[in-house]
């Protein structure tokens, strides 16, 4: 193996002094890739993975971007916006799904897998709980390399998609809670926050993480009394430091939580669940004790939820009432502000796709980029995700070992 193969780095300034074989490999590596952006309709998904501005940058770097008609409409990007920035617009799903890389926001459906040509890269949310066995089997048969948005890490080990969408979800959850407390949607007519002479509303947040942080900032900014619950004292201390003020914080002590729920106007579930087993921090019995007209929003619903009464619903029908408490429960909450969310996603995926093109394909990129490698759940049709293996009773393979063979 030559030095380049060991380091995974290319020094363009020294190409003249490379052996012929290595010089040739460097030249071949910088080749164009085609990128397909399908129109998402599942669960009323309105986000799009790449904005017209990002498409322009990719096209200028000699990549080809193929957009299905109307793919950006949900985020208020027209087909003309994309075509003027170099995208090819088509109404043929087969052409879009036949690209080297297919990137969409909502998880792939059975029907969409039929359009795939095979031996290509597909990128989307995975949503382990909602993925069915037949869809996974079809992706395996197509021998695709599949990458889950929510598992990709950056150079600092952070999950950039999760972080950016959590920021949006945290703020949006408070704005929604405010809306559903008001008379506008038949709420009890309470203003989220407080004014002189009126007791402020109480907001309980489960989880001292990014979503919890931004929800707390929004609620405090409106004048609400905020209480934070988490299993880690260290995270609670860090949370206070981030917000720059002392808050009412507590570990998950059942008696303290039950007492707080009885007077709460809003409950935000922001717990980051790591496995597929139900783990309810708030039971149905605890919800029964809450005030009539209170609002619950569970931001972890895509992983099963941390509140027993929440249901994973589509954005077109996310609201229901249970035990007199209003529940807002949609897995793709950032789709409510699709333009902002799309720009955030595009900021992540445009450079990632360019890196893939510059690397000469997915295999070399995975060898040098551990963060993208972390997002892979299928490699050339071979299952590499242990959680999916446990769910469907399939043996998963170690991706590092698979890559060492190439």
21-73 confidence digits (pLDDT tens): 443 444 444 458 999 999 997 768 999 999 999 999 999 999 999 999 999 99
Beta bridge pairs of residue 68: 90
Cβ pair 64, 33 in contact under 8 A: yes
Q: What is the mean pLDDT of the chain?
A: 89
Kindly list the structural domains of the chain, giving each domain's residue range(s) and its CATH number in brackets, ordered by start: 31-151+338-404 (3.40.50.720), 163-331 (3.40.50.720)
The mean pLDDT of 244-252, rounded to a whole number, is: 83
In whole angstroms, what is the distance from residue 47 CA to residue 338 CA? Answer: 5
CA distance linking residue 331 with residue 343, whole number of Å: 19
């009464």: which residue's tokens?
A: 309
Quick one: pLDDT at residue 14? Answer: 40
pLDDT of the residue at 277: 63
Q: What percent of the chain has pLDDT over 90?
A: 75
H-only helix segments in 252-325: 254-263, 284-288
Average pLDDT estimate for 189-198: 90
Per-residue pLDDT tens over the stretch 324-371: 999 999 888 999 999 999 999 999 999 999 999 999 899 999 999 999
Count of CB atoms situated within 10 Å of the CB of 15: 12
User: To the nearest 10°, the Cα dihedral for 23, 25, 31, 35?
Assistant: -150
- What's the residue count for the chain? 406
The arithmetic mean of pLDDT across residues 283-307, rounded, is: 93
More confident residue, 5 or 285: 285
Grouping H, G, I as helix, E, B as strand and the rest as coil, residue 220 is helix
- Name residue, tokens 């599942």: 42
Under 8 Å between Cβ of 276 and 304 = yes
pTM score, whole prediction: 0.87
Distance CA 185, CA 180 (A): 6
CB atoms within 10 A of CB 109: 13
Distance set, CA 257 to CA 250, 272, 278 (Å): 8, 18, 19
> Reduced to 3 states, what is the DSSP secondary structure of residue 3?
helix
| Residues 206 and 270: beta-carbon distance below 8 Å | yes
- Whether the CB-CB separation of 92 and 116 falls below 8 Å is answered with no
Report which of 314, 290, 405 is spatially closest to residue 127, judged by C-alpha positions.
314
Phi then psi for 285, rounded to 5 degrees?
-65, -35
Whether the pLDDT of residue 128 is over 90: the answer is no
Neighbour tally for 268: CB within 10 Å: 30
Among 267, 262, 308, residue whose Cα is nearest residue 284: 308
Q: E strands along 187-283, which residues?
A: 202-206, 225-229, 248-250, 266-269
The radius of gyration of the chain's CA atoms, rounded to the nearest angstrom, is 23
**Among 81-90, 155-164, 269-278, 314-323, which stretch is predicted with the lowest mean pLDDT?**
269-278
Nearest to 146 by CA among 370, 361, 377: 377
**DSSP classification of residue 212:** H
Report DSSP state, residue 313.
B
């Amino acid at each position: 193996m030559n030095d380049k193969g060991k380091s995974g780095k290319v020094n363009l300034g020294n190409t003249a002094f490379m052996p012929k074989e290595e010089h040739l490999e460097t030249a071949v590596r910088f080749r164009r890739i085609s990128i397909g952006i399908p129109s998402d309709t599942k669960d009323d998904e309105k986000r799009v993975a790449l904005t017209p501005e990002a498409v322009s940058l990719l096209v200028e770097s000699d990549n080809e971007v193929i957009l299905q008609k109307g793919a950006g409409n949900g985020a208020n990007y027209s087909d003309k916006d994309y075509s003027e920035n170099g995208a090819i617009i088509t109404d043929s799903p087969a052409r879009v799904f036949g690209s080297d890389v297919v990137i969409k926001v909502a998880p792939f459906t059975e029907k969409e897998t039929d359009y795939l040509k095979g031996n290509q890269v597909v990128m989307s949310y995975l949503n382990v709980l909602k993925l069915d066995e037949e869809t996974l089997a079809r992706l395996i048969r197509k021998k695709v390399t599949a990458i889950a948005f929510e598992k990709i890490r950056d150079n600092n080990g952070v999950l950039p998609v999760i972080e950016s969408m959590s920021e949006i979800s945290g703020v949006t959850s408070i704005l929604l809670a405010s809306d559903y407390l008001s008379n506008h949607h038949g709420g009890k007519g309470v203003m989220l926050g407080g004014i002189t002479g009126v007791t402020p509303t109480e907001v309980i947040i489960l989880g001292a993480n990014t979503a919890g942080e931004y929800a707390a900032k929004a609620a405090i900014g409106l004048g609400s009394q905020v209480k934070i619950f988490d299993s880690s004292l260290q995270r609670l201390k860090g949370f206070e430091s981030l917000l720059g003020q002392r808050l009412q914080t507590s570990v998950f002590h059942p008696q303290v939580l039950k007492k707080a729920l009885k007077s709460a106007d809003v409950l935000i579930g922001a717990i980051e669940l790591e496995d597929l087993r139900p783990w309810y921090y708030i039971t149905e019995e605890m919800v029964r004790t809450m005030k009539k007209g209170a609002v619950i929003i569970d931001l972890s619903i895509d992983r099963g939820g941390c509140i027993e009464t929440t249901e994973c619903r589509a954005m077109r029908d996310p609201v229901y009432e249970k035990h007199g408490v209003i529940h807002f429960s949609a897995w793709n909450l950032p789709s409510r502000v699709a333009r902002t969310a799309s720009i955030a996603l595009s900021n992540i995926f445009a450079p990632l796709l360019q890196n893939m093109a510059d690397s000469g394909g997915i295999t070399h990129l995975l060898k040098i980029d551990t963060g993208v490698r972390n997002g892979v759940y299928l490699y050339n049709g071979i299952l590499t995700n242990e959680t999916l293996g446990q769910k469907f009773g399939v043996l998963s393979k170690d991706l590092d070992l698979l890559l060492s063979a190439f």
